[in-house]
Amino acid sequence: MHRRNLLKYGLASLSAAALPAPALAYPDRNIRMIVPFSAGGATDVAARLWAEKMKNGLGTVVIENKGGGGGAIGTAEVARSQPDGHTLVFGNTSTQVLIPALLEKPPYDPVKDFAGVYIVCLSPTCIVVHESVPAKTLSELIAYAKSNPTKLSYGSAGTGTMTNLSGELFKELIGVPTITHIPYKGSAPGVADLASGHIPMMTPNVGGPLLDFHRTGRVRILAVASRQRIKAAPDIPTAIEAGLPDMVAANFNGLFAPAGTPKAILDKITELTRTAMADEQMQKTLIASGFEPLVDSGPEAAQHMVIEELARWRPIMKATGFKIDQ
C-alpha cells in the first residue's frame, strides 16, 4: 500500500512537471502610459497611435500627459513606479538623454532606472517661421537674423529638450547668439502660438499638427534638421542642403519601463509593438504625421540607442554651452 502511494505520488509529480508553464497574467488592469509633454505634440501623437494599436493585445492603455521640466517630471514618476509593466513612459531623446546629461542632480538615471522596450519612430526637428517673417528659405532667414539680431525669438517644447538644443545649435551655427529662447510645456502650445503669430520662430519636431499648418500657409517649415528629406514632405529641404552641414537634430520616440520589469513582460510588449509596426497602415499614418517609423527595434536596441545618443550629444552640448537653469 505504501509502495503504491509512492508510485502514485511519483507519477503525479512527473505529470505536473510535464505541464506547460501557466500563461503570463499580464496585464491584469489598465496600463498607464505617461507622456511627459502636453497633449497634441509630436511625442503625444506617436504615443496615441501606439496605444490604439495595442487594444487587442494589451487592452486599454490610458494616456496621461504630465508635462513640465522639459519632460523630467513625468519621466521621473515612471522611474519610481512599480516594475510590473502597468506604468510605462513614452520617452524621447530629451527625457532619456539630454536632461539626465545636463542636470547636476538628475531625478533619474536613464540607463540604470529604465528598461528600454522599443524605439517606435524618429522625429527630426525643423526650423519653422510664422508667415509674417520675411524669409521663404533658410538662407533668407539666416540673412534676416544677422541683419536683425535682436528681433527674433524661438519657441521650444521646454528647457533642456531636443527642440531647445536644436534652437541653440542653430544660433551657434549662424553666429547669432541674441535670438531669445521661449520654453513651453510641450510643443503643442508653442506650435499654436507660432501659428497665431505670437512667436516668430520655432524649432519643434516635425510630427504632430505642424505639417498641417505648413500646408495651409500659416507657418513655413524652411528646413528639416535631418540628413535626408522626410517622406511626409519631400519638398522641404534639409538644413544641410541650405549650407548648415552640422544642423542635424532628431528625437527618438519610444517605450521605456521601470528597471526590474520582468523580461517576459518586456518581451510581450515588444512582440505586440513589432507586429503593430509591421502594419502598412501604421507606417503610413506615422509617415504622414512626419515620423520615420522603425520596424526592427526591441529592448536591446532601445537601451543601446540611449547609450549611443548620450555619447553623441554630450560633446555637442559642451561645445554650444547648452545648459538647463535649475
**What average pLDDT score do residues 141-154 get?**
97
pLDDT value of position 16: 45
Identify the weakest region by mean pLDDT among 15-19, 23-27, 102-106.
15-19
Indicate if the pLDDT at residue 164 is higher than 90: yes
List the one residue out of 109, 235, 241, 247 whose CA is nearest residue 173.
247
256-308 tens-digit pLDDT: 999 999 999 999 999 999 999 999 999 999 998 889 999 999 999 999 999 99
The grid cell for 86 is 502597468
- The three-state DSSP-derived secondary structure of 13-57 is HHHHHHCCCCCCCCCCCCEEEEECCCCCCHHHHHHHHHHHHCHHH
89-137 tens-digit pLDDT: 999 998 999 989 888 889 999 999 999 999 999 999 999 999 999 999 9
pLDDT value of position 129: 98
The grid cell for 207 is 510630427
Local confidence band at 153 (pLDDT 50, 70, 90 cut-offs)? very high
Looking up cell 510630427, which residue turns up?
A: 207
Find all residues with CB under 8 Å of 266, minimum gap 6, and list them: 85, 115, 117, 257, 299
Indicate if the pLDDT at residue 69 is higher than 80: yes
pLDDT value of position 316: 84
DSSP 238: B
The answer to whether the beta carbons of residues 62 and 90 sit under 8 Å apart is: no
> Where would I find the H helices in the chain?
2-18, 42-53, 55-58, 72-79, 93, 99-102, 138-147, 162-174, 187-196, 210-216, 263-277, 280-288, 299-320
Q: Percent of the chain at pLDDT above 70? A: 91
Find all residues with CB under 8 Å of 100, minimum gap 6, and list them: 106, 108, 109, 110, 310
* Domains by residue range for the chain, with CATH: 31-123+251-320 (3.40.190.150), 126-224 (3.40.190.10)
Q: Count other C-beta atoms under 10 Å from residue 132's C-beta.
A: 7
Q: Please give the backbone phi and psi of residue 293, each rounded to the nearest 5 degrees, phi first.
A: -70, 150
pTM of the model: 0.80
Q: From CA 309, how far away is CA 316, in angstroms rounded?
A: 11
